[in-house]
Homo-oligomer: A and B are copies of this chain.
Amino acid sequence: MEQEFASTLLERAVSEFAKLPGIGRKTALRLVLYLLKQPVADVRGFGEAVVKLREEIGYCRVCHNISETEVCPICSNPLRDASTVCVVEHVKDVMSIENTHQHHGLYHVLGGLISPMDGIGPQDIEIDSLVERVATGEVKEVILALSATMEGDTTNFYIYRRLAPYPDVRVTMLARGVSVGNEIEYTDELTLGRSILGRTLFSDTFKEDK
C-alpha cells in the first residue's frame, strides 16, 4: 500500500532510500524517520560520505579494484606474489577472498560476467586487460574465482580460450564440492557428483587446512 506523506521532502527522501536494493518503502520510511531525529551535522555527514565516495573513488589501473590511488595497495604491495592473479567478478569478492587469508597474489576484477541474456559480452567486462596482463609474461597462474553459475562457467570458458596462446600460464579454478557445514542429504546431485570426481586424499586435505 502506497502511503501518502504530508511532506514532499519526506516523500523524496523515502523514494531515494527505496531505490536501494532490498529496501522497501516501509524500511525506507523507518530509516528516514530515524535520520530526522539525528543531529543535523550527523545527517550532513551521512549525505556527504555517500556523495564523496561516489565522486572521489577511483579504480586501480591494474586490477580494477576500487582504489584511492592510481594503483591499489594490493597491486603495489611488493610482498604479494605478482605471478598469481585471482580473477573475480566484483569488488566485494576481493574482500571475501582477502578475508580467507589464503590468497597471497594479486587480483583482477572483471566488473561482471558474460551474460548473453543480459546483453553483457566479453567486451563489456575487463577481459582484454586481463589478457594484456598475462601477455607481459609476469603471470604464472590465473585462478578463476567466479560464481558456480551458468554465467560464471561461460566466462571461465571464454577466459580459458583467450589464455590458450600462453601455455606456460596455469589456469586454475576454485575447488567445487560440498560446502563446509552442509549435510550430504541436502547437497544437490551435481555438486555431489563433482565432489566425488574431485575427491582428495584425506591426509592431503588436513595438511592443507592446518
Residues of A within 8 A of B (CB): 1, 3-10, 12-13, 15-17, 19-23, 27, 29-36, 38, 40, 43-57, 65-68, 72-74, 90-92, 94-95, 98-99
CB distance B65 to A12 under 8 Å? no
Q: A22-B30, A66-B36 are in contact. Are A56 and B9 (CB under 8 A)?
A: yes
CB distance A51 to B43 under 8 Å? yes
> Bound state CA distance, A43 and B10, in angstroms?
17
- Within the complex, which residue of B6, B23, B53, B98 is in contact with A36, where a contact is CB–CB below 8 Å? B53
Note all chain B residues with C-beta closer than 8 A to A4.
95, 98-99
CB distance A73 to B36 under 8 Å? no
> Bound state CA distance, A98 and B2, in angstroms?
12
Q: A36-B54, A36-B57, A53-B32 are in contact. Are A9 and B46 (CB under 8 A)?
A: no
Note all chain B residues with C-beta closer than 8 A to A10.
53, 57, 66
CB distance A21 to B31 under 8 Å? yes
Note all chain B residues with C-beta closer than 8 A to A6.
65-68, 72-74, 94
> Bound state CA distance, A67 and B8, in angstroms?
9
How far is the CB of A189 from the nearest CB of chain B, in Å? 30
> Bound state CA distance, A185 and B18, in angstroms?
37
Note all chain B residues with C-beta closer than 8 A to A13.
49-50, 52-53
Note all chain B residues with C-beta closer than 8 A to A65.
6
CB distance A95 to B5 under 8 Å? yes
How far is the CB of A5 from the nearest CB of chain B, in Å? 7
